[in-house]
């Protein structure tokens, strides 16, 4: 029962809050950390170039610097392979055996049932419980978000330092310009 709830959580993590479907070309808004399909976000923003806002938290920002989220794209692909749809209750069934997909084959990067696990196709493969695979992917996504946040902070610091140097140069050039 707990695994079913976790599978539902997994499917929700891989779902865009705009289109309510699995992410397609997911991007991260660095200013607030929320993720959306690139197409959904572009349509949401329209053609206005002045100011953009996050559809989820409404935080506004000037530039539209979106970061591709490859880990989330992989997570969405795994969710698609589950055969379920966002918001569906319960787990998905194996298309071959009509059994619950409770295992994850690391070699094929797909969810499988216990019968598939014993088949020739997956014999000798690294297979873990679906719940464990979900937790591994969740950790990878969180690590990626943390790294992207750190990168954003470094860029902001660099930008601030550069702006300060430009101001200092303008101040030092100003007396020279007055001479001419």
Render pLDDT for 71-95 as a digit per residue (tens, 0 to 9): 888 888 877 776 555 554 445 778 8
Measuring CA to CA, how many Å separate 177 from each of 51, 125, 164, 165? 35, 73, 20, 18
pLDDT, residue 161, reads 94
pLDDT, residue 82, reads 64
Domain range for 163: 129-178
> Is residue 111 assigned to a domain?
no
Tell me: do 28 and 82 sit in the same domain.
yes
Render pLDDT for 98-135 as a digit per residue (tens, 0 to 9): 888 889 999 988 889 999 998 999 989 999 998 888 88
The domain boundary residue, chosen from 56, 86, 116: 86
In the predicted structure, residue 144 carries a pLDDT above the cut 90: no
> Is residue 19 assigned to a domain?
yes
Please tell me whether the overall predicted TM-score, pTM, comes out greater than 0.75 for this model: no
> Is residue 123 assigned to a domain?
no
Per the model's pLDDT, the better-predicted residue between 63 and 30 turns out to be 30
In the predicted structure, residue 13 carries a pLDDT above the cut 50: yes
Q: How many domains does the chain have?
A: 2
pLDDT, residue 160, reads 92
Render pLDDT for 155-179 as a digit per residue (tens, 0 to 9): 889 989 999 999 999 898 888 777 7
In the predicted structure, residue 2 carries a pLDDT above the cut 70: no
Tell me: do 72 and 13 sit in the same domain.
yes
CATH code for the domain of 47:
3.30.40.10
Give the mean pLDDT of 8-25: 85
> Is residue 142 assigned to a domain?
yes
> Is residue 115 assigned to a domain?
no
The domain boundary residue, chosen from 86, 115, 148: 86
> Is residue 104 assigned to a domain?
no
pLDDT, residue 86, reads 58
Tokens at 123, concatenated: 């014999």
């Amino acid at each position: 029962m707990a695994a079913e709830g976790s599978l539902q959580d997994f499917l929700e993590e891989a779902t865009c809050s705009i289109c309510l479907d699995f992410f397609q070309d997911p991007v991260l808004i660095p200013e607030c950390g929320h993720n959306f399909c690139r197409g959904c976000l572009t349509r949401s923003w329209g053609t206005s170039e002045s100011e953009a806002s996050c559809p989820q938290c409404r935080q506004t920002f000037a530039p539209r610097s979106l970061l591709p989220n490859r880990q989330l794209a992989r997570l969405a692909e795994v969710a698609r392979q589950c055969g379920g749809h966002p918001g569906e209750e319960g787990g998905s069934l194996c298309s071959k055996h009509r059994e619950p997909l409770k295992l994850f084959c690391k070699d094929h990067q797909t969810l499988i049932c216990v019968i598939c696990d014993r088949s020739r196709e997956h014999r000798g493969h690294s297979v873990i419980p679906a719940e464990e695979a979900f937790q591994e992917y969740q950790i990878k996504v969180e690590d990626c978000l943390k790294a992207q946040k750190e990168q954003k902070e470094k860029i902001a610091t660099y930008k601030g330092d550069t702006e300060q140097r430009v101001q200092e140069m303008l101040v030092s050039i100003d007396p020279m310009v007055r001479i001419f």
